Amino acid sequence: MSIVAVFTLSALGHVHPTLPIVAELVRRGHRVVYYCGEAVRQKIEATGAEWRAVPWDFTPVERAPRPRLSAYALEQARCAETLLPQLLKELQDLNPACVMVDFMCFWGRIVARTLQLPTVNLSSSFALGPGVLPPRPVLMALDLAGAPLQGAREVLAVRRTTQRLSRQYRQADLRTQFDLLSMDGDDVLVCTARAFQPHAERFGERFQFVGPSVAPRAREATTDLPRLDERPLVYVSLGTVFNHKLDFFRECVHAFADGQYQVILSVGQSTDPAALGPLPPHMHARAYVPQLDVLARAAVFITHAGMNSVSEAMAHEVPVVAVPQAADQFTIAQRVAALGVGRNLLPFQRRARHLRAATDALVADAAVRSRCRALRQAFEQAGGPTRAAAVIEARMAGQA
């Protein structure tokens, strides 16, 4: 039995892809020690892994009305400065054969580098490299829009804090918040297929495209769906971070008011479904719905284009109307449109008429489901958690 240490963020979009991989490692007889926040403890322990606390609250920056990567990078740097002495001591005592670290987990990266442990990086999105994301000036403008002075102060604080860390540990300082996104590691597990990766030819053998790592949700099995009939179902969700946009959900209500479609809106914990007012019988607004169960019935998915959401849509061969909100979501949405498995709506196209036109076009396109099916097959052939666990075992054995 070997020991694998895991470091990731508590955000569900980062935790969920790790769970099937961790469960597979445990099934193969390895001990997995997983460092993360209290909010996801039960999910982690359900895999058979041992949970250890990262006692730092990122909720204020994650749940901000407009999340900024600059604020998140600064909070990670402060977390690292506070927790690293204890984490390094624990990892020295644990002596893992390998560390799996999320591509955005700054403190986990420092632990692995400082102790010079074999490291497998896990990217829950695309492999990052030239041409994958928009140019840095564009990203910076998008990240700091609405609060440029506060964002600039955060970037300067990130530099100062990480400069102190780089003098003490094996870690280069972060010059901008985008240096938080790292493809370091002996291997990089990318949770998509090469067929979906932009510029896939630019990534060599160190990058293992293992396909989506989708965990079953125990809660979904016990949550009832609204009563549905034979009309096509449109499912609307902006994920767990960007779901506070009441105006967008109202546009969706207007778009589908005529009753041609059934509609389920998952508005999250930040929005009161009652704030949408009385809804017609063919529309249902919930704080939470069982996404995988809903996608099994859906004709179209209107989504923020997070990688997990798009992957789950393709697993059910459901085309998407992408309304990206931040970061890699714009690239994912562009890829969706380029491959013909959905439509990408630009920020000025988020009105009811655009949402309805995009949905009608996808429902009427007989070939779109075939393209979704081809991408689903590419995802399945990538190997998933089984292949990811095999890569980690090879790294532990020194047989990369």
Q: How far apart are CA 241 and CA 239, in angstroms?
A: 6
Do residues 62 and 241 touch, judged by C-beta distance below 8 A?
yes
Least trusted range by pLDDT, from 210-224, 239-253, 370-384: 210-224
What is the mean predicted confidence (pLDDT) over 30-37? Answer: 97
Q: How far apart are CA 41 and CA 54, in angstroms?
A: 11
DSSP H helical segments within the chain, as ranges? 12-15, 18-27, 41-45, 59-62, 69-94, 106-114, 136-144, 148-168, 246-255, 291-295, 307-315, 329-338, 352-364, 368-381, 384-396
What are the pLDDT digits (tens) for 283-339?
A: 999 988 899 999 999 999 999 999 989 999 999 999 999 999 877 888 999 999 999
Question: What is the domain partition of the chain in residue ranges?
Answer: 3-211+383-396, 218-380
Q: Give the three-class secondary structure for 342.
A: strand
Phi-psi region of 214 (alpha: psi -120 to 50; beta: other; left: phi over 0): beta
What is the mean predicted confidence (pLDDT) over 19-44? Answer: 96
Assess whether the region 3-211+383-396 and the region 218-380 belong to the same CATH fold: yes
What are the pLDDT digits (tens) for 186-211?
A: 999 999 999 999 999 999 999 999 99
Nearest to 300, CA basis, from 330, 271, 269, 341: 341
Q: Of all helices (H) and strands (E), which one includes residue 34?
A: strand 31-36
Q: Of all helices (H) and strands (E), which one includes residue 35?
A: strand 31-36
pLDDT higher than threshold 90 for residue 275: no
DSSP letter (8 states) at residue 98: E
pLDDT in the model for residue 88:
97
Q: How far apart are CA 5 and CA 323, in angstroms?
A: 36
Q: Of all helices (H) and strands (E), which one includes residue 5?
A: strand 3-7
Q: Put the strands of the sheet holding 320-322 in their side by side order.
A: 283-286, 262-266, 233-237, 300-303, 320-322, 342-344
* pTM beyond cutoff 0.75: yes
pLDDT in the model for residue 222:
43
- DSSP lists the bridge partners of residue 15 as none
DSSP letter (8 states) at residue 283: E
Q: Which two tokens stand for residue 300?
A: 């179209």
What is the mean predicted confidence (pLDDT) over 223-245? Answer: 82
Angle at 265 between CA 19 and CA 276, to 5 degrees: 135
Q: Which amino acid is at 168?
A: Q
pLDDT higher than threshold 60 for residue 217: no
Least trusted range by pLDDT, from 35-39, 144-148, 355-359: 144-148
DSSP letter (8 states) at residue 151: H
CATH 3.40.50.2000 fits 3-211+383-396, yes or no: yes
| Residues of the chain above pLDDT 70, percent | 96
pLDDT in the model for residue 220:
47
Q: What CATH number labels 218-380?
A: 3.40.50.2000
